[in-house]
Amino acid sequence: MELSERTGSIIYSHDWLTRGRPPADPLGPPSVAAIAPTSGNRHPAGLMGGHLWRPGLDLRRSSMTFWLAGRADEFAERHDDSATTGSTRHDGPDSRGFHNYGQLNYLSKPHDRRPNDPGVSTGHYCAGWLLVGVAVKVALFVTCLNDTMFPQTGQATVRLLRRLGVDVEFPTAQTCCGQMHVNSGYVPEAIPVVRAFVDAFAGYDAVVAPSGSCVASAREQHKLVAARSGDRALINAVDDVSPHVYELSEFLVDVLGVVDVGAYFPHRVTLHPTCHSTRLLGVGDRPEQLLQAVRGITMVDLPAAQECCGFGGTFSLKNPDVSVAMGSDKARHVRESGAEVLVAGDNSCLMHIGGLLSRERAGIRVMHLAEILASTEEAA
Amino acid sequence: MTSGRPLNTLETLKTLKTQTFLGIPPFPIAAKKALADSQLRGNMHHATHTIRTKRARVTSELPDWEELRVAGADIKDDVMANLDGYLVQLEESLVKAGATVHWARDAAEANQIVIDIARRHKVGEVVKVKSMATGEIELNVAMEEAGISVWETDLAELIVQLGHDLPSHILVPAIHRNRAEVREIFLREMGKVGMPAAADLSDEPAELAGAARRHLREKFLRAKVAVSGANFMVADTGTLVVVESEGNGRMCLTLPEVLISVVGIEKIVPTWADLEVFLQLLPRSATGERMNPYTSTWTGVTQGDGPQEVHVVLLDNNRTTVLADEVGRQALRCIRCSACLNVCPVYERVGGHAYGSIYPGPIGAILTPMLKGVGTSAQIDSLPFASSLCGVCYEVCPVRINIPQVLVHLREKVVDSHRGGVPGTLMTTMKGASWLLGGGWRLGLLQKAAGLSSRVLWKQGVIGRMPRPMSRWTDARDCPAPPRESFRRWWARTDGGLKNAGSASNTPRKGTGQK
């Protein structure tokens, strides 16, 4: 009677439910119904043992949010082994000798790894492809911010990688990851930037960047931008390039398999782990491991280290008051730590915290992780 | 069908006792004011850190917490995927159990349904269980306009109502008040609407709770009609569930003759057994308790026990529009636990009022724009930008709502909704940046200009205070001056440091704390 008519009018007024399955394509994520079967067996989390678990949804792929990453099926193929065993982390080189870490999905992160997970030490993969002697091409993605404002970070990264035997190249066509555009809502404006990125880095076996935030953008946002462009060639190019982009500490620890990079830095240092490195990329304690192995260094704890510094890209300009309120607390914690140097894997956070410390005349330096790791006794 | 309730204007609302969020300025402006309130900052810091710590403790003690989160998300996704079927099933179950089901397309319809039922029973007042859905539709305002008094019975809601205040938290609406302020409100206001507080009331929590208990008791015993929401609706049994801490809900759900529950259509769970997952997720995420003190369930009418007339108002109010958004629909998984609010560094500092909505914090920043429509006001359009995208909300969400992802998605929608017409400053800047970053040589041009500016303007290597719009950065933060030589030029000059590394390399950075 009337009541059911009302249900119908509410639900069917939105034709996405009645149209059936939209194309399974990065240009249009599949409908809910396409991936959520309704009957099933028991779910593993049931403490009382009575709960129904839906089959065909392994723990990583079940999330509706995962579609945004697009191509769930392709992803499953690539990660067939880990998907079937339920293991969320595939540690070890793949058939090409590449470590799979770079293909992990941000969207599945909070489930994959607990917040306090110290990360998996991967030192024993140090065989890597470098020692096997495979000819590999490694590119430096210095990032637009470092290129323009902090060249010393790029220089330190180059010195460090060369010292470790990596013949790093700098494709001069590179510019930016496009994150500023995407995170500010200007996705069409990010298309030329992403296009420049894939053009510059196509064909490299590894792209190393001294920025967790920019790497996260390359891995997770480029496919969104490509999907919005509707350009099949760009979608494919992004698929090819983005899995090869590594944050510096990931590249050192996971790919090169080194923790002691032979650095010397006789100072009191505290580490800001940065939100995007820890929560988007999941680098865990890799920066910490690398720093602990530096000779002469004294590491001190940063209170509330996991808390955001408040930079947030254009957030720092759109909401300057909140941004500064957050940054002041971070700066206070840095002062309380007693460190003389604040280190992080992202110069964007450091520009913000450092700018506050400088205004306060706090007498605390900020340095990028690469700069400390590049320091040696000879240079000092 | 839309009802005849006129659109509220600020003027008509000023005459009411109940406050609304109308007139709250865009987030950056509201936040600035909130940041300056040291009492608020102190209250918020203390409260959020207390709940945050408790939540972390009780969630880390469950070995299968992450699996529970996945299960919670999956169940909700299944409900959303098959909402049409589940809604019909729920309605059948409810009708069979003796309840009356009403369908409300929007706030006005829902309010009218509740008012009509109350009028039919000729009551001048109703008691209320804490409910977000009724807050969303501003039921209290509508009831008051219709001449029916609404008594909030949740302690925090009572504090908000007596203080002519607005809620600032989903779970603890009076989180912005400390106990001294609560005492003052009780002393001043309780006597005006019922049993007054004792004149020698102290600010001890137990005494304050005692005063509220005595004040509310006469309302519980007198009320003929109660209004509630529900945390869950079980489709296969027609059972509604309310999860609470104080027992006021239990009073409202059992004592009055008529019970009206206004529930969002996304609150469905398919089976009774699904509650197993959510009754673990919700209390641990919300209050940091292993189990909440009161869990009430009712299935229609039970002869001679409890309310003999049970109404359920199923509320859409744009939830189906949210459902149509492939990225945004995950927000419908929300079980209103507030874990994202308690960990959010932005919320912690500005409190809930700055979000201008019954749903504050990270979840509010995505839910409000989707429920009310992106592009409808500057205030709503400012919400998706009220986040540094640190991702800690996603980390704690018991149903794995990827809030940062939805925030970025909504930012795109906000910008898209303003395309066309004369481009603003930001659009022009972004388009310019898009061109500059479209090729390496273009970025090189910019860097040359920046390096030149350093030689001329910022010889000390630090950019201090600057006029607008740079003041947004430099008012509180120094900015390093651009280096004279970009990395790109250094690489070209030295072949990546292999020849004639020169003095330009390894120069210490300035203006970022390095002296």
Q: Which tokens go with B329?
A: 């629909």
pLDDT digits (tens, 9 = 90+) for B239-291: 999 999 999 999 999 999 999 999 999 999 999 999 999 999 999 999 999 99
User: How far apart, in whole angstroms, are the C-alpha atoms of residue A287 and residue A296?
Assistant: 16
Q: Are residues B395 and A315, on separate chains, in Cβ contact within 8 Å? A: no
Of B453, B515, B512, B514, the closest CA to residue B477 belongs to B512
Residues 226-265 (A) with a CB less than 8 A from some CB of B: none
B440 close contact with A: CB closer than 8 A? yes
Name the residue facing B28 among A110, A318, A328 (closest C-beta). A318
> Within a 10 A sphere around the Cβ of B67, how many other Cβ atoms?
18
Q: Indicate whether B17 pLDDT > 70.
A: no
Answer for the pair A111, A145: CB distance below 8 angstroms, yes or no: no
CB A90 within 8 A of CB A82: yes
**Pure H helices in B5-154:** 10-14, 27-35, 38-60, 65-81, 83-96, 107-120, 132-136, 139-145
The percent of residues in chain B predicted with pLDDT above 90, rounded, is 86
Residue A336 CB contacts under 8 Å (≥ 6 apart), including other chains = A303
User: In angstroms, rounded to a whole number, what is the distance separating the alpha carbons of residues A260 and A253?
Assistant: 9
User: Does residue B512 belong to any structural domain of this protein?
Assistant: yes
Mean pLDDT score, B11-27 = 72
CB of A11 less than 8 A from some CB of B: yes
- DSSP assignment letter at B169: S
| Average pLDDT of chain B to the nearest whole number | 92
Rounded Cα distance, A379 and A371, in Å: 12
- C-alpha distances out from residue A158 to A85, A142, B108, B397, B477, Å: 39, 10, 64, 40, 30
Q: Taking Cα atoms as reference points, which of B345, B41, B344 lies closest to residue B176?
A: B41
Q: Pairing between strand B239-244 and B232-234?
A: antiparallel
Residue A279: per-residue pLDDT: 95
pLDDT in tens, A274-323: 999 999 999 999 999 999 999 999 999 999 999 999 999 999 999 999 99
Q: Return the HEC string of B115-128.
A: HHHHHHCCCCEEEE
Q: How far apart are CA A66 and CA B408, in angstroms?
A: 15
Ordered strands of the B309-315 beta sheet? B100-104, B309-315, B258-264, B225-228, B125-128, B149-152
What are the CA-CA distances from residue B349 to residues A334, B380, B505, B511 (Å)?
19, 20, 41, 27
- pLDDT of A77 over the 50 cut: no
Q: How many CB pairs under 8 A join A and B?
A: 371
CA distance B299 to chain A (A): 19
Please report which confidence band the pLDDT of residue A270 belongs to, taking 50, 70 and 90 as the band edges: very high
| Token digits of residue A26 | 């990065």
DSSP H helix total and E strand total for chain B: 24, 12
CB contact under 8 A, B497 and A159: yes
pLDDT at position B212:
97
Q: What is the mean pLDDT of residues A182-205?
A: 97
Interface residue A42 vs chain B (CB under 8 A) = no
pLDDT band, residue A65 (cuts 50/70/90) = very low
Of A51-60, A119-128, B37-46, minimum mean pLDDT range:
A51-60
Query: Residue B28: inside a domain, yes or no?
Result: no
Q: Which of A83-97, A207-221, B188-202 has the least mean pLDDT?
A: A83-97
**pLDDT score at A64:** 29
CA–CA separation, A173 and B438 (whole Å): 9
Is residue A295 within 8 angstroms of chain B, CB to CB? no
Residue type, B179: R
Interface of B with A in 453-482 (CB under 8 A): 462, 469, 472-473, 475-480, 482
Give the tokens for residue B320: 């189906």
Q: Which DSSP string corresponds to A120-147?
A: ---GGGTTHHHHHT----EEE---HHHH
Chain B interface, best mutation among A32, A41, A167, A307, by max B CB count within 10 A: A32
pLDDT at A195: 97
Average pLDDT over residues B384-405: 97
The H or E element containing residue B259 is strand B258-264
Q: What is the pLDDT of residue A347?
A: 98
- pLDDT of A136 reads 83
Region B309-316 average pLDDT? 98
Structural domain count of chain B? 1
Q: What is the pLDDT of residue B447?
A: 93
Nearest to A196 by CA among A168, A160, A222: A222
Q: How far apart are CA A127 and CA A149, in angstroms?
A: 36
Q: Which residues contact B19 (CB under 8 A, 6 or more apart)?
A: B13, B164, B165, B166
Reduce the DSSP state of residue B428 to 3 states and report it.
Answer: helix
The pLDDT of residue B494 is 94
Residues of A in contact with B70 (CB under 8 A): 45, 59, 62-63, 111
Query: Can you give B190-252 as a three-state secondary structure string?
Result: HHHHCCCCCCCCCCCHHHHHHHHHHHHHHHHHHCCEEEECCCEEECCCCEEEEEECCCHHHHH
According to the model, what pLDDT value does residue B23 have? 86
Q: How many CB atoms lie within 10 A of CB B192?
A: 9
State whether residue B376 sits within 8 Å of chain A by CB: no
* Cα→Cα distances B82→A7, A359, B367, Å: 13, 56, 21
Other beta carbons within 10 Å of B7: 7
Strand order in the sheet with B268-269: B268-269, B232-234, B239-244, B294-299
b/e per residue A214-242 (b: at least 16 CB within 10 A) = bbbbbbbbbbbbbbbbeeeebbebbbebb
Query: A173 — contact with chain B (CB < 8 Å)?
Result: yes
- The shortest C-alpha distance from B327 to chain A (Å) reads 7
**Quick check: is B409 in a domain?**
no
DSSP string, B444-501: HHHHHHHHHHHHHT-TTSEE----TTTHHHHTT--EEPPPSS-HHHHHHHHTTTTS--
Identify the residue among A142, A322, A334 best suited for mutation to test binding to B, counting B beta carbons within 10 A and taking the highest.
A322
> Which of A43-47, B106-110, B239-243, B452-456 has the weakest average pLDDT?
A43-47
Residue of A47, A176, A180, A189 to mutate for B, most B C-beta atoms under 10 A: A189
Nearest CA in chain A to B464: A359
Phi/psi region, residue A256 (left: phi>0; alpha: psi -120 to 50; beta: rest), is alpha
Is residue B323 pLDDT above 90, yes or no?
yes
Cβ within 8 Å of B, A 346-375: 350-359, 362-367
pLDDT of the residue at B470? 87
Distance between CA atoms of B82 and B90, rounded to whole angstroms?
12
Burial A47-62 (b: 16+ CB within 10 A, else e): eeeebbbbeebebbbb
**8 A C-beta contact, residue A102 and residue A248:** no
In three-state secondary structure terms, B313 is: strand
Looking at residue A321, its pLDDT comes to 97
Residue B164 sits at the chain A interface (C-beta within 8 Å) = no
What tokens appear for A137 in the block? 């091409």
pLDDT at A380: 52
Q: Residue A70 CB: number of other CB atoms within 10 A?
A: 23
Q: Does A320 touch chain B (CB under 8 A)?
A: yes
- Cβ-nearest to A326 among B345, B414, B462: B345
Q: Which of A114, A155, A179, A211 to mutate to test the interface with B (most CBs of B within 10 A)?
A: A155
Contact B71 A67 (CB under 8 A): no
Q: Would you state the structure tokens that stand for residue B158, as one six-digit string?
A: 């009572």
Backbone angles phi, psi at B438, to 5 degrees: -80, -5
Closest Cβ–Cβ partner in A6, A147, A320 for B486: A147
Rounded to two decimals, the pTM is: 0.84
- Which residue type, as a one-letter code, is found at position B478? D
User: Could you tell me how far CA A47 lies from the centroid of its own chain?
Assistant: 34
Which residues of chain B lie closer than 8 angstroms to A146, CB-CB?
A: 487
How many other CB atoms are found less than 10 A from the CB of residue B403?
28
Nearest to A355 among B31, B324, B479 (CB): B479
What does pLDDT average to over chain A?
A: 75
User: A247 burial class (0-12, 13-18, 19+ CB within 10 angstroms)?
Assistant: buried
How many helices and strands in chain A, by DSSP H and E? Answer: 20, 10
In tens, the pLDDT along B464-484 reads 888 888 899 999 999 999 999
3 state DSSP class of A164: coil
Question: Of all helices (H) and strands (E), which one includes residue B436?
Answer: helix B425-436
pLDDT digits (tens, 9 = 90+) for A249-261: 999 999 999 999 9
Q: Does A33 contact B82 at a Cβ distance shorter than 8 Å?
A: yes
Residues A107-146 pLDDT 10s: 233 333 333 333 333 333 333 444 444 568 999 999 999 9
Question: What's the gap in Å between the CA of B13 and the closest CA on chain A?
Answer: 29
Neighbours of B218 (CB within 10 A): 11
- Consecutive H or E run containing A41: strand A41-42
What's residue B499's pLDDT? Answer: 81
Q: What is the mean pLDDT of residues B224-229?
A: 98
Fill in the DSSP letter of residue A242.
G
Cα–Cα dist B390/A110, whole Å: 13
Under a CB-based contact definition with an 8 Å cutoff, are residues B76 and B334 in contact? no
Token readout for B166 is: 């607005």
pLDDT classification of B454: cutoffs 50, 70, 90: confident
Give A142-167 pLDDT, tens digit per residue. 999 999 999 999 999 999 999 999 99
Cα–Cα distance for residue pair B299/B278, rounded to 1 Å: 18
pLDDT of residue B509: 57
- The reply to whether B45 touches chain A by the CB within 8 Å rule is no
Alpha carbon separation from A123 to A162, A252, A253, A256 (Å, rounded): 20, 10, 7, 9
Q: Which domain holds residue B468?
A: 434-515
Inter-chain touch B515–A365, beta carbons under 8 Å: yes
Q: Å from B368 to nearest chain A CA?
A: 18
Name the percent of chain B lying above pLDDT 70: 93
What is the predicted pLDDT for the residue at B500?
Answer: 64
Q: What is the CATH topology of the domain spanning A260-374?
A: Rossmann fold (3.40.50)
What is the nearest CA distance from A177 to chain B, expressed in angstroms?
9
Say yes or no for a CB contact (<8 Å) between B415 and A185: yes
- B-chain CB neighbours of A184 within 8 Å are 411, 415, 426, 430
A positions 192-211 inside 8 Å of B (CB): 192-193, 195-196, 200
> Which one has a higher pLDDT value, B70 or A13?
B70
